[in-house]
């Protein structure tokens, strides 16, 4: 992954720190979010030493360290113990302004327990006498505690992911994002291939990189992979509360809570924010690639393996459309968070935790110093929205507590009837009709 797409704010942050040299910074974030690519882009016009840990032996890591030092100095560098690393870095940098990157810190720690102490010592006693910008990078955010300046990479937004596929239409952008989310490594894997072809030819092939990645994330990042698979299957099948998940998986409530909380901590699940009469915690799958795998692909595993991926794809078409419909609603919510100064965005739930069937989500926002409640309805497929759907939305919104200043948002992938367009125009700012092109800023 050589091309850095987006990340303008992150690059600006790092360049601002470059002006503060000597300085240290931690860069963290889950794997495949583009940490190394970001740093490569940042250092393309700067002198740098790039040291990365490996999962191999101590000797493998020392060889990598010596290679990096030699590349920077232009001479054959040779240290035999990590205790000599920072004295050597200080010597070869001299008075030269340079970036020193230590990537995959946890792999180095696995081989050199003492390296954290050496980093702290260098930062507290030696860094101030250099012109070095020290950047320590890892998946584990625990390195944050030692640094005043920190940068945590998050998945990219749906709109920033447009940069990976300049030739895509809005519906293609939506499908790609719905399947793999804002993880740059996954977006790069699409290339210029149509998302429907990716689903048909790759998602339903059990040895594809996407399927293996979804399975691998659960296996490598959770405390109890088999139990996590059960939890994900339960949530994919509609379970949301601990009580429902526990019942479907056969786990005790206490153990189920432990597994769910671990997955929430790892970013695989999220505790969903809701509004309305229900106040119980509900959970959903936070990772798009895992969500698509368990809500769609995993249900047809037997067919993929015993019959054919093509047969599984054909049988799953309704599930795929249903998944994309729900993903569209999530993107619409993200559009609101990007477009408004918001206090809350969430789904409206009833006493039994069920989601309202007419109001897809609501938001409390500030518009020109005035508090307003946005009432949204979304439809990706099917007939264009008409006046009846707007009237139904406005009627249901009468039960929503809060501000009397309500604005009705209707998001549609298939457009609006002329009658609705005229009615919305007559209602002014109270009604906003938004298409996929509007959501993706294509007009």
Using CA of residue 297, residue 301, residue 302, residue 305, what is the dihedral sign? Answer: positive
Q: What is the mean pLDDT of the chain?
A: 90
User: Strand, helix or coil at 140?
Assistant: coil
Query: Confidence class of residue 2 from pLDDT cuts 50, 70 and 90?
Result: low
CA 411/CA 433 separation, integer angstroms: 6
Are 194 and 172 in contact, with CB atoms under 8 Å apart?
A: yes
Per-residue pLDDT reduced to its tens digit, 269-326: 998 755 545 567 889 999 999 999 999 998 888 777 777 878 888 999 999 999 999 9
The percent of residues above 70 in pLDDT, for the chain, comes to 95
- On the question of pLDDT at 162 being above 50, the answer is yes
CA 297/CA 304 separation, integer angstroms: 9
Are 159 and 174 in contact, with CB atoms under 8 Å apart?
A: no
CATH topology of domain 8-152: Rossmann fold (3.40.50)
DSSP state of 397: G
| H-assigned helices in 50-84 | 58-73
- On the question of pLDDT at 1 being above 50, the answer is no
Half-sphere exposure of 180 (CA within 13 A, CB side): 24
Domain 334-439 class in CATH:
alpha beta
Phi then psi for 33, rounded to 5 degrees?
-85, 0
pLDDT confidence of residue 61:
94
- On the question of pLDDT at 38 being above 80, the answer is yes
Q: In DSSP terms, which residues pair with 375 in a beta bridge?
A: 362, 408
* Token representation of residue 245: 């998940």
CA 118/CA 353 separation, integer angstroms: 52
Per-residue pLDDT reduced to its tens digit, 175-231: 999 999 999 989 998 988 999 999 988 888 877 788 888 888 888 878 888 999 999
Domain with CATH 3.40.1350.10 in the chain: 334-439
Cα 426 to the chain's mean position, in Å?
A: 39
More confident residue, 17 or 349: 17
Domain with CATH 1.10.10.10 in the chain: 160-324
Per-residue pLDDT reduced to its tens digit, 252-265: 999 999 999 999 98
DSSP state of 123: I
Domain with CATH 3.40.50.300 in the chain: 8-152
Contacts of 354-360 with CB under 8 Å at 24 or more apart are: 356/276, 356/396, 358/392, 358/393, 358/396, 359/393, 359/396, 359/397, 359/400, 360/329, 360/332
What's the chain's Rg over C-alpha atoms? 25
Query: Confidence class of residue 143 from pLDDT cuts 50, 70 and 90?
Result: low
- On the question of pLDDT at 27 being above 70, the answer is yes
Per-residue pLDDT reduced to its tens digit, 82-99: 999 999 999 999 999 999
Q: Averaged over 108-126, what is the pLDDT?
A: 93
CATH topology of domain 160-324: Arc Repressor Mutant, subunit A (1.10.10)
- On the question of pLDDT at 6 being above 90, the answer is no
Stated pTM of the model:
0.88
* Token representation of residue 285: 């799958």
Q: Averaged over 63-76, what is the pLDDT?
A: 95
CA 395/CA 288 separation, integer angstroms: 33
CA 374/CA 365 separation, integer angstroms: 7
Per-residue pLDDT reduced to its tens digit, 349-397: 766 667 788 999 999 998 888 889 999 999 999 999 999 999 999 999 9
């Amino acid at each position: 992954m050589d091309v850095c797409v987006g990340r303008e704010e992150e690059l600006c942050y790092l360049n601002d720190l470059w002006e503060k040299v000597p300085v240290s910074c931690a860069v963290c974030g889950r794997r495949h979010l583009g940490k190394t690519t970001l740093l490569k882009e940042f250092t393309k016009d700067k002198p740098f030493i790039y040291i990365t840990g490996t999962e191999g032996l101590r000797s493998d890591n020392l060889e990598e360290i010596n290679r990096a030092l030699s590349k920077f100095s232009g001479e054959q560098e040779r240290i035999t113990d990590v205790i000599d690393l920072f004295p050597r870095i200080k010597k070869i940098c001299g008075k030269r302004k340079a970036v020193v990157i230590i990537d995959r810190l946890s792999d180095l720690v696995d081989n050199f327990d003492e390296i954290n102490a050496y980093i702290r010592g260098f930062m507290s006693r030696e860094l101030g006498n250099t012109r070095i910008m020290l950047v320590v990078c890892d998946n584990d955010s625990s390195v944050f505690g030692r640094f005043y300046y920190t940068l945590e990479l998050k998945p990219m937004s749906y709109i920033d992911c447009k940069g990976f596929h300049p030739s895509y239409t809005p519906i293609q952008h939506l499908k790609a994002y719905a399947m793999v989310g804002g993880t740059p490594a996954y977006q790069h894997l699409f290339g210029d291939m149509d998302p429907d072809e990716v689903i048909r030819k790759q998602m339903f092939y059990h040895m594809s990189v996407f399927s293996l990645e979804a399975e691998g994330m659960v296996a490598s990042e959770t405390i109890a992979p088999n139990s996590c698979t059960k939890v994900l299957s339960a949530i994919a099948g509609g379970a949301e509360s601990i009580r429902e998940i526990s019942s479907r998986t056969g786990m005790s409530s206490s153990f189920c809570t432990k597994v769910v909380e671990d997955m929430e901590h790892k970013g695989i699940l999220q505790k969903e924010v809701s509004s309305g009469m229900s106040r119980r915690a509900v959970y959903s799958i936070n990772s798009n690639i895992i969500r698509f795998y368990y809500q769609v692909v995993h249900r047809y595993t037997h067919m993929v393996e015993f019959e054919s991926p093509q047969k599984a794809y054909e049988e799953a078409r309704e599930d795929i459309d249903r998944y994309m419909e729900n993903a569209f609603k999530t993107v619409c919510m993200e559009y609101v968070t990007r477009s408004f100064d918001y206090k809350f965005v969430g789904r409206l739930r009833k006493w039994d935790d069920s989601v309202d069937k007419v109001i897809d989500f609501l938001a409390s926002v500030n518009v020109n110093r005035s508090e307003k409640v946005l009432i949204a309805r979304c439809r990706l497929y099917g007939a264009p929205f008409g006046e009846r759907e707007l009237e139904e939305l406005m009627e249901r919104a009468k039960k929503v507590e809060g501000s009397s200043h309500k604005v009705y948002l209707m998001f549609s992938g298939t457009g609006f009837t002329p009658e609705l367009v005229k009615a919305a125009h007559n209602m002014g700012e109270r009604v906003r009709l938004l298409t996929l092109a509007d959501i993706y800023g294509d007009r």
